[in-house]
Amino acid sequence: MEYEQLGRTGLKVSRIVLGTMNFGPQTDEADSHAIMDAALAAGVNLFDTANVYGWGDNKGRTEEIVGSWFAQGGGRRDRTVLATKVYGNMGGDGEQVWPNHDRLSALNIRRAVDASLKRLNTDHIDLYQFHHVDRHTPWDEIWQAVDVLVQQGKILYAGSSNHAGWHIAQANETAARRGSLGLVSEQCLYNLAERRAEMEVIPAAESYGLGVIPWSPLHGGLLGGAVRKEREGGGSRTNGGRSAGALANSAIRAQIEAYEDLLDKHGLQPGEVALAWLLTRPGVTGPIVGPRTPEQLDSALRAVELKLSEELLASLEEIFPGPGPSPEAFAW
């Protein structure tokens, strides 16, 4: 496994990030534990979760599964860089939604941290991430809450997710005025088929020293051999996931067909190339993979060893041209 420092911090994390969103809803506890054991044995040390994972009436279940894995001992917690998130309301479906039980008020951050620590069976969270921007809470309030939690030893670093470039700038300028460390990472939607983050989010992250952690690196399965699986009678997850209906768009379908044909000529697997491409991108620490099976984890791990030629990178750029940085992406 290769390791990269997370943004401007001294923290070293694996270039593949284990996402746990499927643990509970799609993968049972025993299989989830087996996947985490395999990931740790392969050198993956950054595990990503969120308080809302488990979804619906089972919100928090994923954190509980990670916590029960830590409880097995064997150095599991010490060798893991643990990342979780806060923002969404933790009430179950059909329950009354109370004010101050979601978003990023100091009150909810304090409540949510303590609840996550209990579910995760640990005394601290290494990377505490804001799952979405809160347009109604000032950054001074957010950093006040974070500073207290750092002083208490409950969290070590703060990161963002799904923030715009100007949100990153606003957050870290406010932190600098307070003498706080500020955001050290941004978790954003970024892959070969969805490159809008290159316009402002990634340049902002690089400028402020944030490590970029892309989520949905296969774009909901679209970049994982979707056309091939469709022809073979598979691809049910792709057809029902984030990329639902994408292949019905003739332009997108033509891109994916060209992508898969290119990789067939090189004898390469689409999903592994999509991950390996992200590892070549400036500012990227490592993509999040959310395996439902050990076999999917093995495929993701192979991407770290895959070196893409300049010729192949150029061909990928022709198929999936990026927007370019702002303002040139939309102006002169």
pLDDT, tens only, 162-197: 999 999 999 999 999 999 999 999 999 999 999 999
- C-alpha triplet 58, 63, 64: angle, nearest 5°: 75
Active site residues per annotation: 53
What mean pLDDT is predicted for residues 129-149?
A: 98
Of 89, 82, 84, 123, which Cα lies nearest the Cα of 105? 89
Find out whether 16 and 300 touch, Cβ atoms under 8 Å: yes
Q: Is residue 211 part of a domain?
A: yes
The answer to whether position 238 is within a domain reads no
Two tokens, residue 152? 């208490």
pLDDT tens for each residue of 17-36: 999 999 999 999 999 999 99
Beta bridge partners of 3: 14
d(CA 127, CA 172): 16
Instruction: Transcribe 219-264 into DSSP letters.
Output: TTTTTTTHHHHHHTT--HHHHHSTTTTGGGSHHHHHHHHHHHHHHH
In 3D, which of 300, 285, 290, 305 has the Cα closest to residue 11?
Answer: 285
Residue 183 inside a domain? The answer is: yes
Domain containing 64 equals: 3-220+270-312
C-alpha to C-alpha distance for 331 and 18, rounded to whole angstroms: 38
Note the pTM of the prediction, 2 decimals: 0.95
**Domain count along the chain:** 1
Does the residue 287 lie in any domain?
yes
Q: CA-CA distance, 105 to 143, in Å (whole number)?
A: 10
Q: Name the pLDDT band for 209 (thresholds 50, 70, 90).
A: very high
Q: What is the CATH number of the domain that holds 157?
A: 3.20.20.100
Question: What residue type is assigned to position 123 of the chain?
Answer: D
Instruction: Give the pLDDT of residue 122.
Output: 98
Query: Rounded to whole angstroms, how far apart are CA atoms 276 and 299?
Result: 11
Q: Is residue 227 part of a domain?
A: no
Can you give the pLDDT at residue 235?
57
Residue 49 in domain: yes
Q: At 159, which helix (H) or strand (E)? A: strand 155-161
